[in-house]
Amino acid sequence: MKKKQQHGGGGDCPAPRLPAAAAAGGGPGPGQGGGWKRRRPLSPLPFLSLRDYGFCMAALLLFCLGSLFYQLNGGPPHFLLDLRHYLGNSTYLDDHGPPPQKVLPFPSQVVYNRVGKCGSRTVVLLLRILSEKHGFNLVTSDIHNKTRLTKNEQMELIKNISTAEQPYLFTRHVHFLNFSRFGGDQPVYINIIRDPVNRFLSNYFFRRFGDWRGEQNHMIRTPSMRQEERYLDINVCILENYPECSNPRLFYIIPYFCGQHPRCREPGEWALERAKLNVNENFLLVGILEELEDVLLLLERFLPHYFKDVLSIYKNPEHRKLGNLTVTVKKTVPSPEAIQILYQRMRYEYEFYYYVKEQFHLLKRKFGLKSHIRKPRPRPEFFIPSPLETEEPIDDEEEDDEKWLEDIYKR
């Protein structure tokens, strides 16, 4: 007598029927401990399904079509070209060898709108040497006596500068240009100024008698100057209020920083304040000629791709010989009375000069530079009660120098 199979429900249940193949071959069925699986179709890659393989082939086809379209439509975008220029034209071996030495300078657009008789010829001599040494593009101009430009002239000059090969440093005697006004990228500006009276005296005698580079170079610069004007006594020019020794001719430095607006050529508060604003917003550094070595040190710190080793070149005896040739000859000192009159006429120039000087000394303190110059002469008396006198900058010793330098570059 056979026993009946018991189930949880207590009822009779027929045994499950096996597939014919399993029954015939004696293979295990689903309920007998075997893993009965459905066979997959053959695939070129065993770990991919046919659907995954088709997806990969479609992606490859799209990539090939996109690459063809990309090449037929002018090649890579500008940012890839810039990246290629930054990294250099490397090969596989280059990528696995020593890192390339050339690094794209930052910033790569610098303008030195040099102020006349403020050491600019000395700095240009240095720049010619540095451009060959470091490989940047030094862009100069043959125009020396046109600082004020019409709107069309501004647009044309900005266009020519902006299309120069980067990294470039453009230099010319020209009042500040606002590149962004005409849709261009605003470059980094640098400049150097000096004591206004000293600058005026240097220019006065240079126009008449030149410098040590040649006895006749002043005749080339001012061929139409009459003899009585060439040998005009400086005290007579000042005390008798000749045009060359009075305003607006004495209002010379501020327009280089104020800009091309007509009011920038009018001595007054408006031009002064606008010049200060541009110094703060657009100039990386405005140095003082009386402290030229410190100016060069800071330029080397801020712009090493342009000014690395500039101080050692400047101190080289061979360069010193060239620099001495640019010293103005036959320069004399006016009487104290004439000097005091110049101070009064150049009131705004001195306001700007002392403002820049204080900002420059703030930079020096931030980088641990100390002044090694002789004691400066006292300021003119009319500056003492002046409400525009710039307060002494606060020296924040806890500020990180490298972080501050990054902020400077972001201006």
Identify the pLDDT of residue 86.
47
Question: For the chain, which residues make up each domain, given as ranges?
Answer: 109-370
Cβ-proximal residues to 211 (8 Å cutoff; 6+ apart), any chain: 217, 325, 326, 327, 328, 329
Cβ contact 132:126 at 8 Å: no
Is residue 119 predicted with pLDDT exceeding 70? Answer: yes
Is residue 38 predicted with pLDDT exceeding 70? Answer: no
Identify the pLDDT of residue 69.
61
- Between 207 and 196, the higher pLDDT residue: 196
Identify the pLDDT of residue 387.
32
Report phi then psi at 192, rounded to 5: -140, 135
- Between 332 and 80, the higher pLDDT residue: 332
Among the residue ranges 110-119, 131-140, 378-387, the one predicted with the least confidence is 378-387
Q: Could you tell me which of 333, 162, 351 has the C-alpha nearest to residue 269?
A: 351
Q: Could you tell me which of 37, 93, 49, 104 has the C-alpha nearest to residue 305?
A: 104
SS (H, E, C) the chain: CCCCCCCCCCCCCCCCCCCHHHHHHCCCCCCCCCCCCCCCCCCCCCCCCHHHHHHHHHHHHHHHHHHHHHHHCCCCCHHHHHHHHHHCCCCHHHHCCCCCCCCCCCCCEEEECCCCCCCHHHHHHHHHHHHHHHCCEEECCCCCCCCCCCHHHHHHHHHHHHCCCCCEEEECCCCCCCHHHHCCCCCEEEEEECCHHHHHHHHHHHHHHCECCCCCHHHHHCCCCCHHHHCCCHHHHHHCCCHHHCCCCCCCCCHHHHCCCHHHHCCCHHHHHHHHHHHHHHEEEEEEHHHHHHHHHHHHHHCHHHHCCHHHHHHCHHHHHHHHCCCECCCCCCCHHHHHHHHHHCHHHHHHHHHHHHHHHHHHHHCCCCCCCCCCCCCCHHHCCCCCCCCCCCCCCCCCHHHHHHHHHCC
Among the residue ranges 93-107, 219-233, 257-271, 381-395, the one predicted with the least confidence is 381-395
- The string of pLDDT tens digits covering residues 321-369 is 666 556 666 778 999 999 999 999 999 999 999 999 999 999 999 988 8
109-112: strand order across its sheet: 137-139, 168-171, 109-112, 188-193, 283-288
Q: What is the mean pLDDT of the chain?
A: 77
Confidence of residue 174 (pLDDT cuts 50, 70, 90): very high
For residue 214, how many other CB atoms are within 10 A of its CB? 11
Identify the pLDDT of residue 3.
45
Alpha-carbon gap, residue 22 to 16, rounded angstroms: 13
Is residue 92 predicted with pLDDT exceeding 90? Answer: no
Alpha-carbon gap, residue 210 to 221, rounded angstroms: 8
What integer is the mean pLDDT of 3-31? Answer: 48
Is residue 301 predicted with pLDDT exceeding 60? Answer: yes
CB-count exposure of residue 273 (10 Å: 0-12, 13-18, 19+): middle
- The string of pLDDT tens digits covering residues 274-298 is 999 999 999 999 999 999 999 999 9
Angle between helices 269-282 and 347-366 (to 10 degrees): 20
Q: 109-370 belongs to which CATH class?
A: alpha beta
What integer is the mean pLDDT of 140-166? Answer: 94
Among the residue ranges 100-104, 137-141, 219-223, 272-276, the one predicted with the least confidence is 100-104
Confidence of residue 73 (pLDDT cuts 50, 70, 90): low
- The string of pLDDT tens digits covering residues 238-251 is 999 999 999 999 99
Is residue 89 predicted with pLDDT exceeding 70? Answer: no
Alpha-carbon gap, residue 299 to 309, rounded angstroms: 10
Identify the pLDDT of residue 70.
60
Two structure tokens written together for 314: 């400047």
Identify the pLDDT of residue 101.
43
Identify the pLDDT of residue 114.
97
Identify the pLDDT of residue 331.
78
Cα–Cα distances (Å) from 297 to 69, 127, 405, in that order, read: 51, 14, 14
For the chain, the farthest-separated pair of C-alpha atoms sits apart, in whole angstroms, at 151
What are the catalytic residues? 173
Q: Could you tell me which of 208, 236, 213, 212 has the C-alpha nearest to residue 223?
A: 208
Is residue 134 predicted with pLDDT exceeding 70? Answer: yes
